[in-house]
Amino acid sequence: MSVREEILNIFENGRGEFFSGGELAERLGVSRNAVWKAVRQLESEGYHFDAVSGKGYSLRQESDVLSEQGIIRYLGQSAEKLDIRVYKTVTSTNTLLKEMAANGAAEGTVIVAAEQTAGKGRMNRKFHSPGGTGLYLSLLLRPKMKAQEALFITTAAAVAVARTVEEVSGKSAGIKWVNDVFINGRKICGILTEASFDMESGELEYAICGIGVNICPPDGGFPDEIREIAGAVFDAPPAGDVKNRIAAGIIEKLMNDYANLSARSFFDEYVKRSVILGEDITVLGRGEPRRAKALSIDRSCNLVVRYEDGTEETLGSGEVSIRKAEKNEKNA
C-alpha cells in the first residue's frame, strides 16, 4: 500500500479529526515531506482538507470522492470478502470486469468508477456516464444457478439500489420492471446483468451485475435523447460523503440478498415498489408496439400483462422493454 493510500485510509476512518504531519509520519514510518506530498496529491484529486497550525490536517466531512478506503469505511467487516477497485475513468465497468472474470477473478470483485466513456445499457443502448455526477459499479458473482435465474440478481440489485438511495436521500424510490429505479417519475438508475454460462450444464459460470446511478444532474443537464426521462437522486451536488455511502449500501444489501438468493427475500419489496403494476403500458421489442395492462409480477420475476384483445402473456427479461403508455397514444 502506498503512502497516499495509507494516509487516505487514516483520514477516511477519522473524518473531521486532526492528524499532525509528525504523527502521520511516525505512524507510517515515513518522512514529514512524504506526508505533505501525499496530502497535496489527495487535494489534487478533489479531497478537501482543513490545515491548522499546531493541529495538523483534517479531511472535511463534505469531501465526496470515490475511493476504496471510503467505501470500505461504510462496509465494515463485510468488506473482507470483497475485492474493491476504484477508478477515476473506465470504458465500462462491466466490460473491464468481464475481462477479469474470464481470467479467473474471484467472486466479490467489484469495479467502481466515477466516469465511463463507453457505458452500456440493455439492448446495446449507450448509458450516459459523465464524470463527477454519477456512480458506476459492477459486481462479479459466481452463483450455482441456471442461466434463466440470473433475473433474480437484477431484481435483487434494483431493491438494493432503491433501499440505499432512500436511506441516503430521504426520497421514495420505485422500480420499473425489470431493472430501472425511479424517483419522482424519473429514472435515476439502470442495471445491466451480463452472464456467461456452461453450454452443457446450462448453469452460470459467472454473472456481472452493472449498476449506474445518477447522483446529481450533469453540468448543462442530460442529453436531449434522455432529458425527458432521466433524473438524479439529488437536484444539485450533495454535501457529504455521498458517493461512497451509496456504493457501500448497494454492495452490502445486494450481497446480503445474494447469500440466500433462492429464498428471494427481496421479492415482496420488489413488487411493492413497482411503478407499473395496474398501469396501461406499451410493450416494445416484438414488431409493432402493443398496448397492455401490467397485471402482476410472478415469483420468477416475470411480468404478466393483458393485451387489449384480452390475451395474457408472461414477459421475461430481455424479451421486451416497457414504458408507461401516453394518454394520447393511439392504439397499436
Give the integer Cα–Cα distance in Å for 192 and 207.
10
Domain CATH for 319: 2.30.30.100
Residues 52 and 102 in one domain: no
Residue 331 CB coordination number (10 Å): 8
Q: What count of other Cβ atoms lies within 10 Å of the Cβ of residue 89? A: 11
Given 247, 272, 297, which residue is the final one in a domain?
272
**CA separation for the pair 312, 296 (Å, rounded):** 11
What does the pLDDT profile of the chain (332 residues) look like in tens digits?
Answer: 799 999 999 999 898 899 999 999 999 999 999 999 999 999 998 899 999 998 999 998 888 899 999 999 999 888 899 999 999 999 999 999 999 999 999 999 999 999 999 887 765 666 788 888 999 999 999 998 887 788 899 999 999 999 999 999 999 999 999 999 999 999 999 999 998 887 777 788 999 999 999 999 999 899 888 889 999 999 999 988 999 999 999 999 999 999 989 889 999 999 999 999 999 999 887 778 899 999 999 999 999 999 999 999 999 866 666 776 654 433 33
Do 76 and 129 sit in the same domain of this protein? yes
Same domain, 137 and 205: yes
- Has residue 329 been placed in a domain? no
Residues 160 and 293 both lie in one domain: no
Domain hosting 294: range is 280-324
233 shares a domain with 166: yes
332 falls within a domain:
no
Instruction: Determine, yes or no, domain membership for 194.
Output: yes
Q: Are residues 182 and 265 in the same domain?
A: yes
Tell me, yes or no, whether 21 and 145 share the same domain: no
DSSP state of 325: P
Q: What domain count does the chain have?
A: 3
pTM of the full predicted structure? 0.89
Q: Note whether 100 and 244 are same-domain residues.
A: yes
Residue 51 belongs to domain with CATH number: 1.10.10.10
Decide if 215 contacts 233 (C-beta within 8 A).
yes
**Residue burial 212-229, b: 16+ Cβ < 10 Å; e: rest:** bbbbbbbeeebeeebeee
Based on the fold, state whether residues 266 and 162 are members of the same structural domain: yes
